[in-house]
């Protein structure tokens, strides 16, 4: 597979495509007879419907949107978008899939695509919200660990014990916001590295916290080795036992490591990465879907179609048309 840096295809897309109203998926009652749960709305940015452009990035201060909603952001999801918040002043009650936690400044909050989340900020809270189109996170910059611990599972990173990192992140977010609103020539390249640096510093802080727990250091190191193998053998479709064998551990231990680091099994990590790479290539690489399927290691394009439809709810052709204006597949 080609080695491409994070944000290689990055460009600033400040507008929201007028591509339809807000999506909402109804939750049906199961066989247990329980009442259906209210549908969790899906937004591009909170309160705004429609699809976002490929390589979309948006940054805003917490106050500008939260104050409009009386400092309470109701439960919602973002499909295909990763959000990274920096809380510099105040506090917030945070809910990930209805599991509630308390965030106190200074802290960083990572919200992966598809995760239901809600915030209740204290009045006057300060900070930033960075929203990034998911396919731009497919690769890490050369020499940096993949930010998997941030984009694979929700994370609340307490920066109180790392004031140096809190200050650096605040400075980076100020520069990101300035460049987003006032930048000129080469804005995309500048934003690329500012955002990469912010994610790298947050990742370090998150790993420092993880290492403080028993076995945390081993889990972090093993998970990074696993992610490196996934990058190398993504198109080989290795089964989980083969990854475990290559890492010198049992399959059950590998799954425990992945759940500790990312909140999901090893197979889910691999399939999420394969889906993300398929999304990225459908958007950014011209050519027939059948060729893309073979490049991703599928023996038959039909297998790829079924895999992609099961993972995204759309066929590859539907996904490409939605994001690239109907390019032939």
Residues 262 and 286 in one domain: yes
Tell me, what's the pLDDT at 6? Answer: 30
Tell me, what's the pLDDT at 40? Answer: 54
The C-alpha atoms of residue 234 and residue 78 are separated, in whole angstroms, by 25
User: Domain containing 316 — which CATH number?
Assistant: 1.10.10.60
Number of domains in the chain: 2
Residues 181 and 221 in one domain: no
pTM of the entire predicted model: 0.64
Tell me, what's the pLDDT at 182? Answer: 84
Could you say which of 212, 238, 262 is where a domain stops?
Answer: 212
Q: Which backbone phi and psi does 159 adopt, to 5 degrees?
A: -100, 10
Is residue 32 included in any domain, yes or no? no
Residues 251 and 293 in one domain: yes
Phi-psi region of 96 (alpha: psi -120 to 50; beta: other; left: phi over 0): beta
Residues 159 and 49 in one domain: yes
Could you say which of 193, 212, 231 is where a domain stops?
Answer: 212
pLDDT beneath 50: ranges in the chain? 1-38, 42-44, 46-54, 139-140, 142-143, 145, 326-329
Residues 226 and 161 in one domain: no
Is residue 287 included in any domain, yes or no? yes
Tell me, what's the pLDDT at 150? Answer: 65
The 99-104 sheet, strands edge to edge: 72-76, 117-121, 91-96, 99-104
Burial of 75 (0-12, 13-18, 19+ CB in 10 A): middle
Is residue 204 included in any domain, yes or no? yes
The C-alpha atoms of residue 193 and residue 191 are separated, in whole angstroms, by 6
pLDDT in tens, 170-202: 999 999 999 988 877 778 778 878 888 898 899
Residues 45 and 185 in one domain: yes
pLDDT in tens, 106-126: 999 999 888 889 999 999 999
| CA-to-CA separations, 22 to 19, 38, 60, 78, in angstroms, rounded | 9, 15, 21, 11
Tell me, what's the pLDDT at 188? Answer: 76
Residues 278 and 137 in one domain: no
The C-alpha atoms of residue 157 and residue 207 are separated, in whole angstroms, by 9
Residues 134 and 252 in one domain: no
Tell me the residue range of the domain where 129 lies.
Answer: 1-23+39-212
Could you say which of 183, 212, 241 is where a domain stops?
Answer: 212
């Amino acid at each position: 597979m080609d080695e491409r840096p994070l944000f290689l295809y990055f460009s600033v897309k400040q507008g929201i495509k007028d591509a339809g109203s807000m999506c909402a998926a109804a939750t049906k009652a199961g066989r247990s007879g329980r009442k259906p749960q209210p549908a969790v709305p899906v937004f591009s940015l909170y309160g705004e419907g429609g699809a976002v452009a490929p390589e979309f990035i948006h940054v805003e201060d917490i106050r500008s949107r939260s104050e409009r909603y009386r400092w309470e952001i109701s439960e919602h999801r973002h499909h295909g978008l990763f959000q990274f918040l920096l809380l510099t002043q105040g506090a917030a009650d945070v809910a990930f899939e209805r599991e509630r936690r308390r965030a106190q400044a200074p802290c960083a909050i990572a919200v992966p695509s598809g995760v239901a989340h809600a915030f209740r900020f204290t009045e006057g809270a300060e900070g930033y919200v960075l929203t990034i189109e998911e396919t731009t996170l497919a690769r890490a910059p050369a020499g940096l660990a993949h930010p998997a611990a941030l984009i694979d599972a929700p994370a609340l990173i307490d920066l109180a014990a790392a004031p140096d990192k809190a200050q650096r992140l605040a400075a980076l977010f100020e520069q990101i916001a300035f460049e987003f609103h006032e930048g000129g020539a080469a804005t995309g390249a500048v934003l690329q590295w500012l955002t990469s640096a912010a994610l790298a510093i947050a990742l370090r802080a998150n790993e420092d916290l993880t290492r403080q727990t028993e076995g945390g250091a081993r889990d972090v190191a093993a998970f990074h080795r696993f992610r490196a193998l996934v990058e190398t053998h993504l198109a080989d479709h290795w089964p989980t036992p083969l990854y475990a064998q290559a890492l010198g551990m049992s399959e059950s231990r590998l799954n425990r490591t992945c759940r500790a680091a990312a909140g999901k099994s090893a197979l889910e990590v691999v399939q999420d990465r394969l889906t993300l790479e398929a999304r990225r290539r459908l958007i950014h690489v011209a050519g027939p879907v059948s060729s893309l399927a073979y490049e991703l290691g599928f023996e038959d394009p039909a297998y790829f179609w079924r895999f992609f439809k099961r993972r995204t709810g759309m066929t590859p052709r539907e996904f490409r048309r939605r994001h690239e204006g109907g390019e032939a597949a």
